[in-house]
Structure 1
């Protein structure tokens, strides 16, 4: 079945819009235009009410389409805005992984104090709506006060593959960091060995093999006398690595009292954002790139 896709405006619309050129069942039509998605993924899109025919939501798989009708598919990222997610949205989803954009203030996983209001718990509830047997698995974490891109697995097998081959699968992890003071050196490379105290605070050592090796690259985006905005790439992914290395640099992350920063009221949050994540898909081996917009407040403070 051939169906022509209508031209889109330069600004990305929340919908994918198609005109029907031949009669046929709605599910078959969707499988054709969403060829990159699995059968279950297409079913989910229908069930969640993301598909409309001539501006009327349609969930019936066998609904018969007629020539000239217009089918609109609400993108996953926009559909999430209509869900009950708090502090997060879905950037990408398929049968193997879910990538989210997490806001500062939301826990990645449960703690003793908070078990339900987490990214993990919300996603678990979300996937169970389709099938009570569905599960979500944590691949990596972002600190509560860190915002940005984060990936979860939909099976134990995918989780293991991602974690066991993290260095080979992940091609880029880029953060944007607002730090205190004017960073004099335009570019830098920090290497140290990190170890954790009984109180769960990380310490940096320049003694080789005195802990886990941690390597961080940074470059200055813009700065003034009070603050500097840095783009940071992680060569390794240790706990609190960026926060510890910025403290070691003499320019702690804004609002990071734990690692030498001042009052959090300056920004209203921690000045740390996971901007980009590039990885090879654990099943298809396709290189995928995900990004999250940097908070405007980071730019305003460092102008």
Structure 2
């Protein structure tokens, strides 16, 4: 059982506790937090509280996260696009449309199901639903992911992510013609107050987020860009590009409804580089754009 201790700051005074905790961690949904509160896994100043409790300045909150219920994640044979593999790490090119890890009610067809059939030795740090998973990309984003095959590798790769030493470069097509050749978006990201399933740029219950970008090719109504992550917040590139007025083509959550014929956002994690946990050698991999992405790019070029 993981135990998280927090103290309420002036910023969150009088905020409902379920809202406060769901914004503390991107992966804690408000409904999940409410269940923890109801079963006594959340205490404020050593006392159990109700879901509508309003936080007070300097409140000491202790969250005892229950162990996930054991679930049978079935190994499924898949034709995985493996770019690199040794005894410690694996690099895989995830196709668009594939979910990275299972969740209750969605236990098959994920990358983890395929990884479990491909190799039995995956890090157990992230539990039964996310074996070996160090970082993830959205379902409709394609591209490279690093996977840890043991706990030593997992801890090393996570440390590199924290230190911002991992190279992560994405290709994207955005609406609008960006006039400048490159730029940096430094804007904190947190959950949207109205739509809890969406992220937004906000100073409330947010985390620092930095995205660098440069223009690869400019068109009349679109721009082909490469984005490099300095941080890795949920939906970061999608939120940041919308924030500066250039939402991703095909993005069903953050983009315009009228867009080019593509299923989901035009975003591809094309370059991934990191220091090997054991040898300390820097490794870098590049995956080409998927066919659907190339087809949309060709359509834009042909319609100039």
Smaller-chain TM-score range?
0.5 to 0.7
- Please identify runs of 4+ aligned residues in structure 1 that moved more than 6 A: none
Mapped to 1, the partners of 2:144 and 2:174 lie a distance apart of 20
**Corresponding residue for residue 10 of structure 2:** none
Q: Is residue 123 from structure 1 mapped to residue 118 from structure 2 by the alignment?
A: no
| Partner Cα separation in structure 2 for residue 200 and residue 220 of structure 1 | 30
Stretches of structure 1 that go unaligned for 5 or more consecutive residues are 1-82, 130-134
Aligned equivalents of 1:289, 1:298: Cα separation in 2 = 27
> Secondary structure at the residue paired with 2:87?
coil
Q: 1:175, 1:232 within 8 Å by CA — same for their partners in 2?
A: yes
User: Residue 276 of structure 1 corresponds to which residue in structure 2?
Assistant: 271
Aligned-partner Cα distance in 2 for 1:301–1:178: 12
Unaligned runs of 5+ in 2: 1-75, 122-129
Q: How high is the TM-score relative to the length of structure 2? A: 0.65
1:300 maps to 298
Mapped partners of 1:302, 1:228: distance in 2: 10
Determine if contact 1:257/1:263 at 8 Å carries over to the other structure: no
Question: Relative to 1, partners in 2 of residues 1:174 and 1:95: Cα closer, same or farther, differing over 3 Å?
Answer: same
Q: Provide the secondary structure at the position in 2 that maps to 1:256.
A: coil
Correspondent of 2:151 among 145, 150, 156:
156
Partner Cα distance (1:250, 1:236) in 2: 20
Task: Note if contact 2:164-2:230 (Cα within 8 Å) is conserved in structure 1.
Answer: no
Are 1:181 and 2:186 matched, yes or no? no
Paired residue secondary structure (2:239):
helix
For the pair shown, the structure with the greater C-alpha radius of gyration is: 1
Write the deviation string for residues 202-239 of structure 1: whole angstroms up to 9, x where unpaired.
Answer: 1102x4x8611101111111121222110111111111
Q: Secondary structure at the match of 2:114?
A: helix
**What root-mean-square deviation, in Å, do the aligned CA atoms of Structure 1 and Structure 2 show?**
2.4
Match of 2:106 in 1: 114
Question: Do the aligned partners of residues 264 and 137 (structure 1) sit closer, same or farther apart at CA in structure 2, a change above 3 Å counting?
Answer: farther
Q: Distance in 2 between matches of 1:297 and 1:112?
A: 35
Partner residue of 2:25?
Answer: none
Of 75, 78, 85 in structure 1, the residue corresponding to residue 78 of structure 2 is 85
Number of aligned residues: 214
- Aligned twin of 2:139: 144
Q: CA deviation at 1:163?
A: 1.0
Deviates more, 1:243-252 or 1:176-185: 176-185
